[in-house]
Amino acid sequence: MPLHQQTRVMSFYGFVFGLSSIVGQLGGALITYHPFALDWRIIFLINIPIGIAAFLGTWKFVPENQPATRTSLDIKGVVLLSAVLLLVIYPMTHGREAGWPAWTFAMFALAVPAFALFVVTEKRVERGGGHPLVDLQLFRNRAFALGLVLAFLFYCNRAFFLTYGIFLQTGLHWTPLASGIAIMPFAIGFVIGPLASPAVVKRIGSHVLTLGFSMMTLGFAVTGWAAGEAAAPDLAFYAGLVCAGVGNGLLLPSIMRIALQEVAPEKAGLASGVISSTLQIGSAFGTAAISGAFFGALGAAGAVGASGATGAAAALATLAAYAHAFQLSLAIDAALMFICIGVSVLLVRHQQLARSRAARAL
């Protein structure tokens, strides 16, 4: 794809992503009608028509693209990386409920040698002329490595959707439809951000990353503050969501594009796959870690608030417990985005120095 078209194309990608979040939230309210008597299980059936449409669309519109040389799947790499993720995410997800027994820490400890074995295996595959699951040479590119850190931390905040839904439906006793509508301010910002990104990039270039992370930090901080100040979401609460949504919309089409700028064209496909996988790993890791903190705070606050309380007092104590837990999860999200501000500054400075050196060489 020509360089001058990448920003516009990726902005359309981000727009569709944001639009789908709106449709998905409203469509999710259909479970309240219990179609086919499946209750919440109906959410799995939506993948059938979408999968069929994606298959037919790919078959008709995506051109055939055969590699010059046939590649084989790195089975050992897949198994080892899957084992590393299992050893980290499973105890994070189940450890709190189990009371953090010894096996959770044993799994965390085993993840270290498993990851080392994965790195050694990938190097061995590469030296043997094979095609490793992850090309470790990519990490020598500082811009790509920093972009990968941003991608991971950026998608850690996907836990927001889980904790927000629990806060509204269980803490405030909102219906699924009302909760779906309540995500609209974030989703609207998610749509506005990508549409505005070409103009923003034209004015400030790669600093769009710093702007996006700053808006997400501010938005989550404002929403977290407002969650503890009122009995129900108010204007400040939703204003924070809009701000965070716009920042999210600016970042989604920009992270991959900027991280890949210094990657050799022949490795761009592999590098983009690594970034996409890192986004999903960040989502899984963040959901496990932040939701664990949410439920941990909820359990502690709930136990304290419910002791000796009855009736209206118990209801207020429960609401306060959920608000506190949601505030904690948003504080973690805001802290992660604040770290990303610093990393994005390093990335932009690196790219500016690289361009300066290239210009002097000419």
Mean local confidence (pLDDT), 244-265:
86
Query: Which of 7-21, 215-229, 308-322 is most confident?
Result: 215-229
> Same structural domain for residues 96 and 233?
no
> Same structural domain for residues 258 and 300?
yes
Of the pLDDT bands very low, low, confident and very high (cuts 50, 70, 90), residue 247 is very high
Question: Quick check: is 94 in a domain?
Answer: yes
CATH of the domain at 339: 1.20.1250.20
Contact 177, 32 (CB under 8 A): yes
Q: What pLDDT was estimated at residue 188? A: 87
Question: Quick check: is 68 in a domain?
Answer: no
| Residue 106: alpha-carbon gap to chain centroid | 27
Question: Quick check: is 267 in a domain?
Answer: yes
> Same structural domain for residues 117 and 209?
no
* Helices assigned H by DSSP within 228-310: 235-259, 268-306
Kindly report the average pLDDT of the chain as a whole number.
Answer: 84
Q: What pLDDT was estimated at residue 242? A: 95
State the residue range of the domain holding 211: 3-62+141-361
- Structure token digits, residue 36: 């086919």
- Burial class for 320, CB neighbours closer than 10 Å (0-12, 13-18, 19+): middle
> Same structural domain for residues 253 and 332?
yes
> Same structural domain for residues 80 and 48?
no
Of the pLDDT bands very low, low, confident and very high (cuts 50, 70, 90), residue 243 is very high
pLDDT digits (tens, 9 = 90+) for 117-133: 999 999 998 888 778 88
**CA within 13 Å, CB half, 305:** 21
Helix (H/G/I), strand (E/B), else coil: 46: coil
Number of domains forming the structure of the chain: 2
- Burial class for 144, CB neighbours closer than 10 Å (0-12, 13-18, 19+): buried
> Same structural domain for residues 171 and 84?
no
- Angstrom distance (rounded) from CA 127 to CA 237: 54
Contact 10, 254 (CB under 8 A): yes
Task: Mark which of 132, 160, 176 sits at the end of a domain.
Answer: 132
What Cα–Cα distance (Å) separates residue 345 from each residue in 125, 256, 312, 356? 35, 16, 49, 16
> Same structural domain for residues 333 and 226?
yes
- Structure token digits, residue 327: 């505030």
> Same structural domain for residues 95 and 232?
no
Task: Mark which of 106, 132, 158 sits at the end of a domain.
Answer: 132
- Angstrom distance (rounded) from CA 246 to CA 193: 4
> Same structural domain for residues 93 and 161?
no
* Confidence check: pLDDT of 310 > 80: no
Question: Quick check: is 343 in a domain?
Answer: yes
First-to-final CA distance of the chain: 25
Question: Quick check: is 67 in a domain?
Answer: no
Q: What pLDDT was estimated at residue 46? A: 77
Of 13 and 66, the one with more pLDDT: 13
Question: Quick check: is 69 in a domain?
Answer: no
Q: What pLDDT was estimated at residue 341? A: 96
> Same structural domain for residues 161 and 297?
yes
Of 249 and 37, the one with more pLDDT: 249
**CA within 13 Å, CB half, 210:** 12
Question: Quick check: is 70 in a domain?
Answer: no
- Structure token digits, residue 65: 């693209």
> Same structural domain for residues 197 and 299?
yes
Q: What pLDDT was estimated at residue 4? A: 54
Helix (H/G/I), strand (E/B), else coil: 230: coil
DSSP tag of 146: H
**Nearest-CA neighbor of 248 among 205, 287, 291, 191?**
191
Neighbours of 44 (CB within 10 A): 9
* Helices assigned H by DSSP within the chain: 3-28, 47-61, 75-98, 102-127, 142-156, 159-166, 176-182, 184-204, 208-227, 235-259, 268-306, 311-361
Task: Mark which of 132, 160, 177 sits at the end of a domain.
Answer: 132
* Confidence check: pLDDT of 361 > 80: no
> Same structural domain for residues 84 and 213?
no
